[in-house]
Structure 1
Amino acid sequence: MIKELIESNSGLTLKVDCLNLQQTFECGQCFRWDINDEGNYIGIANNKVIEIRQNSDYVDIVNINKQEFNSFWHSYFDLNRDYQSLINKISNENVMIKATGYGSGIRLLNQDEWETLISFIISANNNIPRIKSIIQSFCESFGDKLYYNGRTYYSFPTPQSLKGITVADLDQIKSGYRAKYIVDAVNKVNEGVVDLYKLSNISTEEARKELLKIKGVGPKVADCILLFSMSKYDCYPMDVWIKRVTENYYFNREASSKEIQELAQNYWGDNAGFAQQYLFYYARNNM
């Protein structure tokens, strides 16, 4: 939560509990934040480029005013949530105590549903550098130009702007077999087969069923979309890595997907998604 906010000509300075930029931007939840030579992060969301730097408990945000911050970025960075209380609540055994201690600066971003859908379709069976490269090419090819500090950036293309796109049109972004899934997502969202921006208003189970109508969206990708853009914090996205992590720390044996999901609900309930992010970040560097 915000303890202090100072406005200047260049932007804003915030004092915030439990916000570490590296941990937040590099825990696998987002792909359009990049560190520059000065050690600052530059990111694009809501058709806006901002630069953000960490200074101990303070963060400086450049190219933003207070109105923009209050209308979008405050929610984007989940600044209404008391993360210390959340950490205390879910740290109910030794593994999670270590994980939350290691990644105590992680915040779950509230990202756009469409961008998250396409980003995680691209992420399937892929590595982070290549995911970021494909998304960057996608935005450069089909997004609108944005300008900041003498450089050109690109917005994330909307489903409406992509109407009628073909697999051949996507050859230039080198997404491989995922191109046909992107086209299917464009079509199903534009045709109303999946009413993407209303899924946050229905139950997690119902929203997951809707997302699974889109080709290339399996249970793990669906749960990432639900968690990172629709506030479905009961989701515990599980790929091969998270399955291995959970087995290693909690079962000491191979476990079925059902067993792992049951454990997540029993241990963390409606906060299982937060627990997954802390575990993911901790295990990546400690297991």
Structure 2
Amino acid sequence: MRITEKDNNIILEEMESFDIEQILECGQCFHFEQLDVKEYVIVAKRHLLHIKQINDQIIFFQTSMETFHTVWRPYFDLDRNYNEIKSWLITNEKTLLNRSAELEKAITEYGGIRILNQDFFETLISFIISQNKQIPHIKQIINTISIKYGDLAGEICGKSYYHFPTLLQLAKVTENELRLCKTGFRAPYIVDACEKLLKEIVLESRLLHADSNQTMEELMLIKGVGIKVASCVALFSLSQRNVFPIDVWVKRIMEKIYFEKETKKEEIASLAKQLYGSFGGYAQQYLFYYARENNIKVDER
């Protein structure tokens, strides 16, 4: 990639495997707003970003070189070679089952996805909220909580944006107040998550050095956190790229490609581990976005 600075904007060029729309719209994050085609405002890592992609040029508006390198470069996982990952997934899967046409198509169509390195606390609460919710509704709830209980992040194009509240800020919010933010049955789960994290402030740093099995076990001690939510938190905020979250879309596409019938999630998870190994999270993102965008159903042959 080539990085230049002009008028306090960072311009990124010659960046392979980067499509800002695919990155943000693939279900891994919720604290952003689309302004125009491939133009977004993102609130993350206690920073506010106005970003726009024009073909292979990516503009980070009003961003210093220091902020780009310390915040956005790791956030967007820019130093990882995604071409190597995609090549491995396609060729390795062919070796195992010789049925990679669908995965290869998913990677070809949505190869601009990069897995974000997100804030642990915000990711945990976001995916607790995500249960049985559509993405627009999840985004709305995250935004409401941020406006009510978070700090002002700044203003872009005349609109104010707010950081997601910190643990200490959200821990002061009652269950009833959370319900007023449309969290519904998830409100007590959020309260429980805050209480547990307050008791163990170092949980995030400890899990960063744990294996995925231990991470899953510990996260699922929080009320309302099951395998899917724990997998998403591990993948999107703890750099555990081997985990393979299974939601309805991933279940459908895996059944369509490999099983041709209704299949238990445990069987799907076992096969995914065999096929994708340490790259399971990447495969999951390509398959999820492909299945959702194409409305894949298991009875499609």
Q: Same fold (TM over 0.5)?
A: yes
CA shift digits 1:209-266 (9 cap, x unpaired):
1100111100000000000111111111012332122111111112222211111111
The residue number in structure 2 matching 1:81 is: 80
Equivalences for residues 139-158 of structure 1 within 5 A: 139-149=146-156, 150-158=158-166
The residue number in structure 2 matching 1:27 is: 26
Give SS of 2:165's match. Answer: coil
- Is the counterpart of residue 183 in structure 1 residue 181 in structure 2? no
The residue number in structure 1 matching 2:233 is: 225
Equivalences for residues 1-287 of structure 1 within 5 A: 3-15=1-13, 16-37=15-36, 39-92=38-91, 93-149=100-156, 150-192=158-200, 195-286=203-294, 287=296
How many angstroms apart in 2 are the aligned matches of 1:9 and 1:87? 35
CA shift digits 1:23-63 (9 cap, x unpaired):
11101001012111465111111221111111111100112
How many angstroms apart in 2 are the aligned matches of 1:193 and 1:257? 32
How many angstroms apart in 2 are the aligned matches of 1:123 and 1:163? 19
Give SS of 1:220's match. Answer: helix
Q: How many percent of aligned residue pairs carry the same amino acid?
A: 40
1:193 shift after superposition: 8.1
1:116 shift after superposition: 0.3
Give SS of 2:208's match. Answer: helix
Q: CA contact under 8 A between 1:194 and 1:211: conserved in structure 2?
A: no
Residue type of the partner of 2:80?
R
C-alpha spacing 1:48/1:194, structure 2 compared with 1 (3 Å): closer
How many angstroms apart in 2 are the aligned matches of 1:278 and 1:170? 33
How many angstroms apart in 1 are the aligned matches of 2:231 and 2:24? 19
Q: CA contact under 8 A between 1:194 and 1:213: conserved in structure 2?
A: no
Q: CA contact under 8 A between 2:192 and 2:222: conserved in structure 1?
A: yes
Residue type of the partner of 2:204?
L
User: Cα RMSD over matched residues?
Assistant: 1.4
Which sits farther off after the overlay, 165-174 or 52-61? Answer: 165-174
Give TM-score scaled by structure 2 length. 0.91
Residue type of the partner of 2:17?
C
Which sits farther off after the overlay, 73-82 or 155-164? Answer: 155-164
5+ residue gaps in structure 1? none
1:282 shift after superposition: 1.0
Give TM-score scaled by structure 1 length. 0.95
Q: CA contact under 8 A between 1:27 and 1:281: conserved in structure 2?
A: yes
Residue type of the partner of 1:154?
Y
Q: CA contact under 8 A between 1:113 and 1:197: conserved in structure 2?
A: no
1:64 shift after superposition: 1.0
How many angstroms apart in 2 are the aligned matches of 1:99 and 1:38? 22
Q: CA contact under 8 A between 1:21 and 1:54: conserved in structure 2?
A: yes
How many angstroms apart in 1 are the aligned matches of 2:8 and 2:23? 23
The residue number in structure 1 matching 2:96 is: none
C-alpha spacing 1:198/1:11, structure 2 compared with 1 (3 Å): farther
5+ residue gaps in structure 2? 92-99, 297-301
